[in-house]
Amino acid sequence: MKLKLSLAALAILATSAQASELNLYSARHYQTDEALYANFTKQTGIKINRIEGKEDELLERIRNEGSNSPADIFLTVDAARLAKAHELGLFAPVASKTLETRIPAHLRTEDWFSFSTRARVIVYNKASVKAEDVQNYEDLANPKLKGKFCSRSGSHPYNLSLMASVIANQGEAKAEEWAKGMVANFARAPKGGDTDQIKAVAAGECGVAVSNTYYVARLLRSTKPEEQKAMEKVGIIWPNQKTTGTHINVSGGGMLKTAPNKAAAVQFLEYLASDEAQRYFADGNNEWPAVDSVKVANPALDALGKFKADKLPVKNLAMYQAKAQIIYDRAGFK
C-alpha cells in the first residue's frame, strides 16, 4: 500500500514544517518490530527515537514528564493497558479517514487504535482431557476438570480482558460463578506466563489452560525437538464457536496529548495501518492484522485454522477491567 497523509496530518503540516523525527514510547518488546520502524523511516525520512519499557513504567514516565514530555506515540499490548492510558487522559483524539476506513470500528476508540489482534484459546492435554469437554470458556469451570486447570495470574491484563469480555457478554453474576468454578478446578496456584501453561499441559502437570495464540504459534514454529514433542501432546480449541466467538485481544497505540510532533505521529499511526506494516505484525509476532483486507502467509497461523471471533468492541473490554479484577479477587483467583 502506498503511504498517504490523511487530512488530519495535512492540516497540521499546513501550519508547521514537517517534523523530521518521532518520539515513540513502546511496551512492545518484539525484535521483529525493528523492520517495521526501519521501513517507516525509509518511506518518510522521519527518524524514530524509541524508548522501550514496561507499560506501567512508561505511563508513569509520561505522567511525570507532563506537558514537557517528548513522547509522541505510546504503543503497547492488551486493551486493558491501552484503556489505562486513556483513563489517565494521556491520549489525544485523532481524526483520520485512513484509520477510520482501515481499522474496523470494533477495534478502535476515539483516541487509540488496534493494529493487530490475538485470540485467547484453550489448550488441553490430548491424553487426559477430551476435546468435547473444553469447547467453551465456560467449560473451564466444569467440576469434571477438577484438579486439571492451570493459569497465569488473574491480575494479568490478558486474563482481565478475558474476564471483561465474559462480563460484557453474560453479566457479572455469571462471570463470578465462572471465576469460582475455575478456582475450584486449579491444578496448582496461578504462576508463570502463557508459554509456561502450554508446557505444563504438555507435561501432564495440568489438563487444560488458556493461552494467547501467538505463544501457541511460536511453539508450533519452534525448531527445538523438546518443544516440537511437547506440541504433539497438546490440542488447541477455538472456544465458544457456537455462541459469542473466541475472545480477541489487541496490540495498539495512540498519539499523546502533549506530542511535539503531531503530524509525524498521525503519519506513523496511519503507516501502522498500511498493508506493509500489517504484514510485519503478522509475520513477525504471529498476530493477525487488524485490517481485514490484508492477507498474510504464516504457516503457524494457517495451522491454527479459521475461527469465529468475538466482535465485542475493544472499548467494552476497557469498560469492565476494574470489575474483572474485583471478581477475580472475590473468587480467590490470585
With 50 as the cut, is the pLDDT of residue 1 above it? no
120-156 pLDDT per residue, tens: 999 999 999 999 999 999 999 999 999 999 999 999 9
Model pTM score: 0.85
Residues making up the annotated binding site are 29, 214-215
Q: How confident is the model at residue 2 (pLDDT cuts 50, 70, 90)?
A: very low
Vertex 225 angle, CA 224 and 227, to 5°: 70
Cα gap 19→17, rounded to integer Å: 6
The pLDDT assigned to 316 comes to 87
With 60 as the cut, is the pLDDT of residue 181 above it? yes
The residue with cell 460484557 is 168
More confident call, 261 vs 6: 261
The pLDDT assigned to 19 comes to 58
Q: How confident is the model at residue 280 (pLDDT cuts 50, 70, 90)?
A: confident
Cβ atoms < 10 Å from Cβ of 262:
22
Residues making up the annotated binding site for Fe cation are 29, 214-215
Q: What are phi and psi of 237, to 5 degrees?
A: -120, 135
Residues 114-147 as b/e (b if ≥16 CB within 10 A, e otherwise) read bbbbbbbbbbbbeeebeeebbbbbbbbbbeebee
Cα gap 253→209, rounded to integer Å: 29
Cβ atoms of 156 and 194 within 8 Å: the answer is no
Q: CA 267 → CA 52, 95, 123, 226, 292, distances in Å?
A: 20, 12, 39, 44, 20
Cα gap 66→28, rounded to integer Å: 22
The pLDDT assigned to 301 comes to 83
**Ranges 23-32, 74-83, 263-272: which has the least confidence:** 23-32
Ordered structural domains, the chain, with CATH: 7-117+250-297 (3.40.190.10), 119-246+309-331 (3.40.190.10)
Average pLDDT value over all residues in the chain: 91
